[in-house]
Amino acid sequence: MKRTANHVIKECIHMTSEEGHYFYKSAGDDATVCGIYFVTAPNMLVQVHFDYLDVPCATGGLIAFVDGWELNGGYFPAVEDHELPLSERVNEFCGLTPPTRTFLSSQNAALLQYRVPKRSRGFSFKVTFVKNPAHHTRKSPRSMNYPGLDAASVRSKIKILRSCYISSRKQIASKAGYFDASQAC
Protein backbone atom coordinates (compact mmCIF):
# COMPACT_ATOMS: atom_id res chain seq x y z
CA MET A 1 0.00 0.00 0.00
CA LYS A 2 1.34 3.41 -1.00
CA ARG A 3 1.95 5.80 1.90
CA THR A 4 0.42 9.28 1.53
CA ALA A 5 2.75 12.24 2.05
CA ASN A 6 1.58 15.01 4.37
CA HIS A 7 2.03 18.64 3.30
CA VAL A 8 1.47 21.72 5.46
CA ILE A 9 0.66 24.80 3.39
CA LYS A 10 2.61 27.79 4.70
CA GLU A 11 2.98 30.04 1.65
CA CYS A 12 0.16 32.03 0.06
CA ILE A 13 1.22 31.00 -3.44
CA HIS A 14 2.06 27.30 -3.49
CA MET A 15 2.77 25.27 -6.62
CA THR A 16 3.21 21.53 -6.51
CA SER A 17 3.34 18.34 -8.54
CA GLU A 18 2.97 16.09 -5.50
CA GLU A 19 0.10 13.89 -4.42
CA GLY A 20 -0.72 13.67 -0.75
CA HIS A 21 -2.68 15.00 2.19
CA TYR A 22 -2.60 18.82 2.45
CA PHE A 23 -3.34 20.89 5.55
CA TYR A 24 -3.90 24.63 5.98
CA LYS A 25 -4.52 26.56 9.20
CA SER A 26 -4.82 30.35 9.17
CA ALA A 27 -2.16 32.09 11.25
CA GLY A 28 -3.94 35.44 11.44
CA ASP A 29 -6.87 37.65 10.58
CA ASP A 30 -5.87 38.26 6.95
CA ALA A 31 -8.41 38.31 4.10
CA THR A 32 -5.80 37.69 1.38
CA VAL A 33 -6.86 35.29 -1.39
CA CYS A 34 -4.22 32.59 -1.78
CA GLY A 35 -3.79 29.65 -4.13
CA ILE A 36 -2.39 26.15 -4.42
CA TYR A 37 -1.51 25.39 -8.03
CA PHE A 38 -1.39 21.71 -9.02
CA VAL A 39 0.20 20.31 -12.17
CA THR A 40 0.89 16.72 -13.12
CA ALA A 41 1.97 14.73 -16.18
CA PRO A 42 0.09 15.53 -19.41
CA ASN A 43 -1.74 12.18 -19.36
CA MET A 44 -3.04 12.65 -15.80
CA LEU A 45 -5.89 14.55 -14.08
CA VAL A 46 -5.92 16.23 -10.67
CA GLN A 47 -8.41 14.81 -8.15
CA VAL A 48 -9.17 16.64 -4.87
CA HIS A 49 -11.23 15.35 -1.94
CA PHE A 50 -11.80 17.44 1.21
CA ASP A 51 -11.84 15.63 4.55
CA TYR A 52 -11.95 18.67 6.89
CA LEU A 53 -13.46 22.13 6.50
CA ASP A 54 -13.59 24.97 9.02
CA VAL A 55 -14.04 28.02 6.78
CA PRO A 56 -17.14 29.86 8.05
CA CYS A 57 -19.06 31.78 5.40
CA ALA A 58 -20.10 34.43 7.96
CA THR A 59 -16.48 35.52 8.46
CA GLY A 60 -15.83 35.92 4.72
CA GLY A 61 -14.16 32.55 4.31
CA LEU A 62 -14.26 30.94 0.88
CA ILE A 63 -12.65 28.09 -1.05
CA ALA A 64 -12.81 27.58 -4.82
CA PHE A 65 -11.74 24.57 -6.86
CA VAL A 66 -10.73 25.76 -10.34
CA ASP A 67 -10.55 23.29 -13.23
CA GLY A 68 -7.35 24.76 -14.71
CA TRP A 69 -5.54 27.82 -13.39
CA GLU A 70 -6.56 31.42 -12.70
CA LEU A 71 -4.23 34.36 -12.15
CA ASN A 72 -5.26 38.01 -12.06
CA GLY A 73 -8.61 37.24 -13.69
CA GLY A 74 -7.18 35.22 -16.60
CA TYR A 75 -7.92 31.50 -16.96
CA PHE A 76 -5.81 28.66 -18.33
CA PRO A 77 -6.96 26.92 -20.43
CA ALA A 78 -8.74 29.99 -21.78
CA VAL A 79 -12.53 30.03 -21.63
CA GLU A 80 -12.80 29.63 -25.41
CA ASP A 81 -10.37 26.65 -25.38
CA HIS A 82 -12.28 24.58 -22.83
CA GLU A 83 -15.30 22.30 -23.31
CA LEU A 84 -16.89 23.39 -20.04
CA PRO A 85 -18.25 26.87 -19.35
CA LEU A 86 -16.48 28.80 -16.62
CA SER A 87 -19.50 28.39 -14.33
CA GLU A 88 -18.83 24.62 -14.32
CA ARG A 89 -15.05 24.97 -13.96
CA VAL A 90 -15.12 27.07 -10.77
CA ASN A 91 -16.76 25.55 -7.69
CA GLU A 92 -16.98 27.79 -4.61
CA PHE A 93 -17.92 26.71 -1.11
CA CYS A 94 -17.49 27.55 2.57
CA GLY A 95 -18.83 26.30 5.89
CA LEU A 96 -18.05 23.75 8.56
CA THR A 97 -18.80 20.56 6.64
CA PRO A 98 -16.52 19.38 3.84
CA PRO A 99 -18.17 18.88 0.45
CA THR A 100 -19.06 15.27 -0.26
CA ARG A 101 -18.13 15.75 -3.91
CA THR A 102 -14.69 14.77 -5.18
CA PHE A 103 -13.37 17.41 -7.60
CA LEU A 104 -11.66 16.30 -10.82
CA SER A 105 -9.87 18.50 -13.34
CA SER A 106 -10.37 18.13 -17.09
CA GLN A 107 -6.63 18.37 -17.78
CA ASN A 108 -3.34 18.11 -15.89
CA ALA A 109 -3.72 21.42 -14.01
CA ALA A 110 -5.99 22.59 -11.19
CA LEU A 111 -6.08 25.37 -8.61
CA LEU A 112 -7.44 25.61 -5.11
CA GLN A 113 -8.03 29.25 -4.16
CA TYR A 114 -8.84 30.12 -0.58
CA ARG A 115 -9.54 32.99 1.78
CA VAL A 116 -9.55 32.12 5.48
CA PRO A 117 -9.68 35.46 7.33
CA LYS A 118 -9.90 34.11 10.89
CA ARG A 119 -7.03 32.72 12.96
CA SER A 120 -7.00 28.95 13.60
CA ARG A 121 -9.58 28.19 10.90
CA GLY A 122 -8.62 25.99 7.97
CA PHE A 123 -9.11 22.89 5.89
CA SER A 124 -7.48 19.67 4.72
CA PHE A 125 -7.80 17.63 1.55
CA LYS A 126 -6.22 14.75 -0.33
CA VAL A 127 -4.83 15.09 -3.84
CA THR A 128 -4.32 12.17 -6.19
CA PHE A 129 -3.35 12.13 -9.83
CA VAL A 130 -5.48 9.80 -11.93
CA LYS A 131 -4.98 8.60 -15.47
CA ASN A 132 -6.87 10.62 -18.07
CA PRO A 133 -8.91 8.03 -20.00
CA ALA A 134 -9.42 10.47 -22.90
CA HIS A 135 -5.77 11.48 -23.24
CA HIS A 136 -4.93 9.50 -26.37
CA THR A 137 -8.38 8.93 -27.82
CA ARG A 138 -9.60 12.43 -28.67
CA LYS A 139 -8.31 15.84 -29.60
CA SER A 140 -10.35 18.16 -27.42
CA PRO A 141 -9.22 20.62 -24.76
CA ARG A 142 -9.75 17.90 -22.17
CA SER A 143 -7.05 15.75 -23.71
CA MET A 144 -4.62 18.29 -25.12
CA ASN A 145 -1.07 18.67 -23.89
CA TYR A 146 -0.65 22.24 -22.73
CA PRO A 147 2.77 23.70 -23.50
CA GLY A 148 4.47 25.24 -20.52
CA LEU A 149 3.17 22.73 -17.99
CA ASP A 150 6.32 20.62 -17.87
CA ALA A 151 8.41 20.51 -14.68
CA ALA A 152 11.05 23.06 -15.78
CA SER A 153 8.45 25.59 -16.93
CA VAL A 154 6.46 25.15 -13.73
CA ARG A 155 9.56 25.82 -11.58
CA SER A 156 10.19 28.99 -13.59
CA LYS A 157 6.56 30.12 -13.24
CA ILE A 158 6.51 29.55 -9.49
CA LYS A 159 9.51 31.85 -9.08
CA ILE A 160 7.62 34.56 -10.96
CA LEU A 161 4.42 33.98 -8.94
CA ARG A 162 6.33 34.13 -5.65
CA SER A 163 8.12 37.35 -6.59
CA CYS A 164 4.77 38.89 -7.60
CA TYR A 165 3.27 37.79 -4.29
CA ILE A 166 6.17 39.23 -2.25
CA SER A 167 6.00 42.46 -4.23
CA SER A 168 2.24 42.73 -3.69
CA ARG A 169 2.54 42.06 0.07
CA LYS A 170 5.09 44.89 0.36
CA GLN A 171 2.73 47.23 -1.49
CA ILE A 172 -0.19 46.22 0.72
CA ALA A 173 1.87 46.95 3.82
CA SER A 174 2.75 50.42 2.54
CA LYS A 175 -0.76 51.41 1.32
CA ALA A 176 -4.02 52.02 3.06
CA GLY A 177 -7.32 51.16 1.43
CA TYR A 178 -8.06 49.14 -1.69
CA PHE A 179 -5.30 47.19 -3.38
CA ASP A 180 -5.44 45.81 -6.92
CA ALA A 181 -3.18 42.74 -6.97
CA SER A 182 -3.09 42.72 -10.78
CA GLN A 183 -1.03 45.92 -10.67
CA ALA A 184 1.55 44.47 -8.29
CA CYS A 185 3.56 42.66 -10.92
CB half-sphere exposure, 150, CA atoms < 13 A:
4
Q: Comparing C-alpha atoms, which of 1, 33, 4 is closest to residue 172?
A: 33
What does the domain layout of the chain look like in residue ranges?
6-133+141-176
Q: What is the pLDDT of residues 155-171, one digit of tens each?
A: 555 555 555 444 444 44
Q: What is the pLDDT of residues 146-155, one digit of tens each?
A: 444 555 555 5
Task: Specify which residues 120 forms β-bridges with.
Answer: none
Which residues in the chain come in under a pLDDT of 50? 137-148, 164-185
17 and 40 Cβ atoms separated by less than 8 Å? yes
Q: What is the pLDDT of residues 84-112, one digit of tens each?
A: 766 778 899 999 999 999 999 998 999 99
CATH architecture of 6-133+141-176: Sandwich (2.60)
